[in-house]
Chain A
Amino acid sequence: MSNRFIKQLKGELPFWVERGWVTPGGDRAILEHLAGQEREEGFLVHALAILGVLLLGSGVVTFFAANWSEMAKLAKLAVLLGGLWLAYGAGGLLLARGEHPKTGQALLLLGVILFGANVMLIAQIYHIESHYPDGVLLWAAGALATAFLLPSQPAMAAAIALLTLWTGMESLDFNRVHLGFLPLWALCLPRIQAQGWRFAAHLALIALLLWSLFTFFSLDAPSGLYLVECYALAYLALFLTGMLMETQGAFAPFAPIVKRYAIFAVLAGFYTLTFPQMQSWDRGAGYRAAAPADWVAAILALLVLIALLSLWHRQRTASAQRPGYLLWGQRLIAVGILFLTANLFITGELGGLMALGFNLLFFAGLIWLIVAGRETNEEFLINIAFAFFAFALLSRYFDTFWSLMDRSFFFMGGGLFLLAGGYFLERQRRRLTREMAAQRKGGAA
Chain B
Amino acid sequence: MIRRIGLILLLQTLALLAMVAIKQWTLSTGTEILLETQPIDPRSLFGGDYVQLNYAISRLRPAELEGDDTFDREAIYVVLAKGERYWQALSIHHERPEVPPDRVVIKGRVQFVQEGSWNPVTGKQELAKELNVHYGIENYFVPEGEGKALENPKSGEKVEIQVAVDSLGNCGIKGVLINGQPRYRERLF
Contacts and interface: CB of A to CB of B under 8 A. Distances in A.
Given A68-B144, A69-B144, A84 B9 contact: yes
A412 B23 CA distance: 64
Given A122-B20, A127-B141, A92 B188 contact: no
Contact of A115 (B12, B24, B141): B12
Contacts of B141: 124-125, 127
Interface stretch (B59-67, B78-86, B95-103, B132-140): B132-140
Contact of A127 (B145, B172, B189): B172
B154 interface: no
Contact of A73 (B7, B49, B188): B188
Contacts of B124: none
Contacts of A73: 187-189
Contact of A84 (B1, B12, B140): B12
Contacts of A130: 136
A95 B8 CA distance: 15
B43 to A, nearest CB: 24
A92 B20 contact: no
Contact of A149 (B8, B16, B187): B8
Interface string B138-150: 1111011110000
A122 B19 contact: yes
Interface in A167-184: 174-175
Residue picked from B4, B8, B172, most chain A C-beta under 10 Å: B8
B15 interface: yes
A131 B5 contact: no
Interface residues of A, number: 41
B16 A131 contact: no
Contacts, number: 91
Interface stretch (A137-145, A320-328, A372-380): A137-145
B109 A142 contact: no
A97 to B, nearest CB: 9
B2 interface: yes
A126 B22 CA distance: 10
A85 B9 contact: yes
A70 B146 CA distance: 12
A119 B19 contact: yes
A111 B139 CA distance: 28
A90 to B, nearest CB: 10
Contact of A92 (B1, B24, B73, B109): B1
Interface string A123-166: 11111111100000010011001100110000000000000000
A386 interface: no
B34 interface: no
B13 interface: yes
A88 B8 contact: yes
Contacts of A118: 12, 16
B189 A88 contact: no
B56 interface: no
A89 interface: yes
A74 B189 contact: yes
A72 interface: yes
B124 to A, nearest CB: 30
Nearest to B146: A69
B186 interface: yes
A129 B137 contact: yes
Contacts of A149: 4, 7-8
A293 interface: no
Given A84-B12, A145-B11, A128 B23 contact: yes
B173 interface: yes
A81 interface: yes
A404 interface: no
Contacts of B12: 84, 115, 118, 142, 145
A285 interface: no
A96 B137 CA distance: 45
A174 B19 contact: no
B23 A126 contact: yes
Q: Which of B1, B7, B109, B172 has the most CB of A within 10 A?
A: B1
Contacts of B1: 92, 95-96, 150
A125 B188 CA distance: 10
B8 to A, nearest CB: 5
A131 B109 contact: yes
Contacts of A142: 11-12, 15
Contact of B145 (A69, A81, A96, A141): A69
Nearest to A124: B141
Given A84-B9, A122-B20, 12 more contacts: A68-B144, A69-B49, A69-B146, A72-B189, A84-B12, A111-B8, A122-B16, A123-B19, A126-B24, A142-B11, A142-B12, A174-B73
7 contacts: A69-B146, A92-B1, A92-B2, A115-B12, A122-B16, A126-B186, A129-B139
Interface of A: 68-70, 72-74, 77, 80-81, 84-85, 88-89, 91-93, 95-96, 111, 115, 118-119, 122-131, 138, 141-142, 145-146, 149-150, 174-175
